[in-house]
Amino acid sequence: MTALVLLVVLLPLLGGLTVAVGASSFLTGTAMVAGGLGAFASAVVLAVRVSGSGAFHTWSGFIYVDSLGAFFALVVSLVVVLASFGSVAYISAEEERGEFSHFQVRLYFVFFSVFASAMLAVFLTGNLGLLWTLIEASTLASVVLVGLEAKARSLEAAWKYVIISSFGVTIALVATLFLFYSASALHLSADQRLTWAYLFAHGHSLAPASMRLAFLLAVIGYGTKVGLVPMHTWLPDAHSEAPSPVSAMLSAGLLNTGMYAIIRYQAIARAALGTAYPSSILLLFGFLSVFLGVMFLVLGGNFKRLFAYSSVEHMGVISVALGFGGVLGIYGALLQVLTHAIGKAVLFLSSGHVVLGYRTRESAKVRGMLGSLPLAGAVLLLASLAVAGSPPFGVFLSELTIVRAGFAGSAVVGPVLAGLLVLLLVIGFISLLATTLGMVAGDGPPAGSVVAYPKLSGRVLAAVPLVGGLAALAVLGLWVPVGLNELIMHSVKVVL
Amino acid sequence: MVELSVAVTGSVERLSATSLAGTLVTLSSVLMLLAAFACLGSKLFSRYVVYYAFQSVVLAFACGVVAFHFQSADLWALAFITLAVKGVAIPLATRGLLLERLELRRDVALSTGLSTSLIIGALLTGFAFLVIPPADLPHGVVATSAVALSTALVLLGGLCMVVRRHIVAQLIGWLITENGVFLGAITLVATFPFIVEAGIFLDLVAAVLIMIVFVSGITRSLAEATASELRELRG
């Protein structure tokens, strides 16, 4: 099992290592994709084994895998696979155009690998101190990717990203300190006082005052990484300025690492303080995020910023689901994590086609994609339908579950909140679709004038994640596979 | 006299706030607070750096006192890292790479007057004592008032980032916040196992921030832009 955990964490580094020793771009691409696929396969095996035989821990809790961790590792390793395909195509296309120097390309692959590896490691540790360190490490690795273009705008975005999210992560450090402090009365060793499983099991004997503070600070601190309003301000800039595969990794991977930390803290807080306090905090931040995300969707403009605000909205929906709580709420939240991750990865990767083909990020300047870039246009339309929550895609199913969880909640408040959520989601649906329909339909530039990927190999590599991801989303909308359903049910039991 | 304790693997170490170590840590926290106020009340970039360096050296001293008291190798390591990186390397890098290179002297991008920001700072300090009253800490560590003072430092650092729009000043504000967090960490939970790693990672963040300003300083576009001018990246 230890070997399996190490495989999940270390295999994504394969691509970075190959490029660091100066291998050819073909070899690097192969290693990137193979490393991602290997990590995904290991995560699947890990999930199956954990689902069957319960949590696994070793190295005094520094390695700790339960169903929840395995589920998140599965989701993020899938995102890494999709983004690896996208990266190889996107970066080599940019290099051939002369947008990126050879040095920038090497920098990209090395830090992409480190970023992926740090994110996956977050889910496989039970020590909340190590979890903090890994989340900070993933921030540092991704800063380089955000600022890679080294233009004034991307450097500004990188600055904003690192200073806001590091401020947030510093707050999360204070949360970790208070959590550690709240366990003072327990006779545990220093490392055990930070191990999630011990804290969860002894939740009732944690000092309530400092636990309350620890949870609030954790939601603010890790919420900065998640992009919860009002700590979300770095998110649209970073997502819009980063190369598209990195935007996919940020939106579908990084945000989930923060959400994972919040789920862990919520479980401890629920054990220590009861349901009401953590739920009300998550509902507050969740609704703020959904509201603001939807409002910016209405405004339109830069389509990558738009997709970023859609991430703010979706992270808000997940927080609301966690706030609704219960088996249904947490099940819906986890399903939403999976479906949003796949949908947003596909959406950002297809936006990479647009950026390369039209050389703009303004949605008003993109018209007639169905004629000029048929595959990317079709995928962009279908993926935005999926992300906005239209049947028959997975997001519809998870959002339906969340709304049901709201109606199943407390007598008056639950249904009112669920109704409000539906209203906001409908507004979001209309606004997102209005923008992407405008980009896809209409009279575009003549065929042949817009070329995203000049080479056949690039076209094939870039098409794989789009088609694969969209197919997975369609399947998830109709039917949640038995094994996956079981894994999510086990994950729900872990935190309840 | 306030009795305080720290749980260390089964045994409990007790220390009163009036002991020598407690007095020294409290004194250090007060000096750090003064340095933060000095920063808030200044308009010269070179002063910011000097005050920050002073604050970091005091933090390293306090860290050494706690390390000596608890015989903790981790805290000794943190004290030396703090002294070397925050006390010497970051101030020198900020001065050499940013201030001299970009010829930064007077900070004009202030959104409030100096006296206003000092008054807000004083209110924030009072607020910190209000929310974390020393008498309420059940079993804290060396010096109880240091926890409230560290909270005040975190808030003052945040205030610096809010009222100063120049990014180098914001950088200093973030660094002050970080010092406050570490002061709180060593006084509240001296046995926290990840303190050294946390220190190293946050120092790395500082290095990255300095590097971004340095790289973009060559193009001259970022250092001259203030937050209110970044209209294109609104959100």
DSSP string, B10-33: TEEEEEETTSHHHHHHHHHHHHHH
Q: What is the pLDDT of residue B2?
A: 31
Q: Does residue A259 have a pLDDT over 90?
A: yes
3-state secondary structure of B100: helix
Q: Is-contact A315 A289, C-beta < 8 A?
A: yes
List B5's β-bridge partners, or say none.
B14
Q: Which of A484, A494, A486, A496 is nearest to A74 (CA)?
A: A484
Across A305-316, average pLDDT: 95
Residue A456's pLDDT is what? 86
Res B90: pLDDT: 93
Most confident of the ranges A141-155, B17-31, B80-94: B80-94
Binned at pLDDT 50, 70 and 90, residue A289 comes out as very high
Chain centroid offset of residue B185 CA: 12
pLDDT score of B60 more than 80: yes
Close Cβ partners of B229 (under 8 Å, ≥ 6 residues apart) = none
Q: Could you report the per-residue pLDDT of A48-58, keeping only the tens digit for each?
A: 999 888 888 88
Q: What is the reported pLDDT for A1?
A: 85
Which pLDDT band, with edges at 50, 70 and 90, does B222 fall under?
very low
Spatial contact of A137 and A113, defined as CB atoms under 8 Å apart: no
The CA distance from B75 to the nearest CA of chain A, in Å, is 14
Question: What would the mean pLDDT of A438-444 be, rounded to a whole number?
Answer: 85
Residue A247 · residue A351 · CB < 8 Å: yes
DSSP assignments along A189-250, one per residue: -TTGGGBHHHHHHTGGGS-HHHHHHHHHHHHHHHHHHHT-TTS-THHHHHHHHS-HHHHHHI
| Residue type for position A239 | H
Chain A: nearest CA to B181, how far in angstroms? 7
pTM: 0.92
pLDDT band at B140, cuts 50/70/90?
very low
Q: State residue B139's pLDDT score.
A: 52
Is the sign of the CA dihedral B180, B183, B185, B189 positive or negative?
Answer: negative
Other Cβ atoms closer than 10 A to A43: 30
Find the chain B residues whose C-beta atoms sit closer than 8 A to any C-beta of A.
Answer: 6-10, 138-139, 154, 158, 161, 167, 170-171, 174, 177-178, 181, 184-185, 188-189, 191-194, 197-198, 201-202, 204-205, 208-209, 212-213, 215-216, 219, 221-222, 225, 230, 232-233, 235
- Residue B44 DSSP symbol: B
Percent of chain B with pLDDT over 70: 79
Mean pLDDT of A19-26: 82
Judge if ipTM > 0.90: no
Whether the pLDDT of residue B221 is over 60: the answer is no
- Domain range summary for chain B, segments of one domain joined by +: 20-226
Average pLDDT taken over every residue of chain A: 91
* Residue B3 exposed, middle or buried by CB count within 10 Å (0-12, 13-18, 19+): exposed
HEC string of A295-312 equals HHHHHCCEHHHHHHHHHH
Distance linking the first and last C-alpha atoms of chain A: 25
Residue-wise pLDDT tens digits, A153-209: 888 889 889 889 889 999 999 999 889 888 877 877 878 888 999 999 998 889 888
Tell me the backbone φ, ψ of residue B73, rounded to 5 degrees: -65, -40
Higher pLDDT: B17 or A52? It is A52
Q: Which of A64-68, A251-255, B107-111 has the lowest mean pLDDT?
A: B107-111
Mean local confidence (pLDDT), A4-20 = 91
On the 0-12 / 13-18 / 19+ scale of CB atoms within 10 A, A404 is middle
Which of B201, B219, B228, B229 is most worth mutating to test chain A (most A CB atoms within 10 A of its CB)?
Answer: B201
Supply B2's token pair: 């306030």
